Amino acid sequence: MTHSAIENHRVVAGPTVRFESLLATLGITCEGEKSGSASSDFGLSQEAFTLVEAEGRLELRPPGEAENSGISAHFPPDRFVGKGSKSILVRAFGKKANVIFDLTAGLGGDAYRLARSGHQVFASERDSAIYALLISGWERDRELGNVDLEVSKRLEFSQEEGARVLDQIDQADIGVYLDPMYPRPRRHKALPKRELQVLRQLLGDDEDDAAVLLELARLRAARVVVKRPHRAPPLLPDVSFALSTKLVRLDVYVNPDLMQAASS
């Protein structure tokens, strides 16, 4: 697991002893006293997103909502998810256990599902605040015994830009998964509505960026799977095949040269 500081001016953290060093490594400033006081009492900026420790994990609260409950990462994530999108995600990568790089980890739900279905998953998230949520939820649920040990062995999170991860890959026959943010509101089964609203408020959309990442991934991976809203066009043409539910489509790009390279 690697943590690195990527500049983040819009997020501050409330008092926390447990996550102080994680947040320092990520370059997120802790404000207020190290007491158990409510976040509204310690003078956090109303213009910034706030990371608050709650029940042993970090929560992210949008500006002006420091007193409301925020979003956080939970493992396993399934209480939020419709069955349809879960099974098409697993089907999109095929039955053979494989190494998959999830380059848009977010709150880790899809990465967890892929690891649970038998794949070895390396999931990376570039945003420091989202990564702080992800890793604090992952550590907390492992500590509480909520995570199956075998799944835990198959899943690794890091804070990294997806293109950098791709640069470091030297194996053939790998899978890449991309679930970028979309420019307009969409209904999305991987994350519940509140999570998506807050993510969009913090991050905006990364569609152009995602198309570039997909170009790179197609050169490196035997199979790339991209999650799209049902009615949105593919990020790039030449989709090999697609799997759909009513709300979500998975576009699958197969690179036969890399599959052959791996088996020869």
Ligand X SMILES: C[S@@+](CC[C@H](N)C(=O)[O-])C[C@H]1O[C@@H](n2cnc3c(N)ncnc32)[C@H](O)[C@@H]1O
Binding site for ligand X (CB under 6 A): 103-104, 106-110, 124-127, 130, 161-162, 179-181, 190-191, 199, 203, 206, 209, 213
132 vs 191 by CB, closer to ligand X = 191
Helical H segments across 96-179, by residue range: 109-116, 128-143, 149-153, 162-167
Angle, helices 83-92 vs 109-116, to 10°: value is 60
163 vs 259 by CB, closer to ligand X = 163
Distance CA 81, CA 196 (A): 13
Those residues with Cβ within 8 angstroms of residue 62's Cβ, 6 or more apart along the chain or in another chain:
49, 70, 198, 201, 202
Instruction: Give the shortest CB-255-to-ligand X separation in angstroms.
Output: 19
8 vs 124 by CB, closer to ligand X = 124
Instruction: Give the shortest CB-212-to-ligand X separation in angstroms.
Output: 8
Instruction: Give the shortest CB-150-to-ligand X separation in angstroms.
Output: 20
110 vs 251 by CB, closer to ligand X = 110
From residue 238, give the alpha-carbon distance in Å to each of 247, 252, 256. Answer: 21, 9, 13
98 vs 128 by CB, closer to ligand X = 128
Instruction: Give the shortest CB-125-to-ligand X separation in angstroms.
Output: 5
Instruction: Give the shortest CB-33-to-ligand X separation in angstroms.
Output: 30
The residue nearest ligand X at its CB is 106
Measured at the CA of 195, the angle between CA 164 and CA 161, to 5 degrees, comes to 5
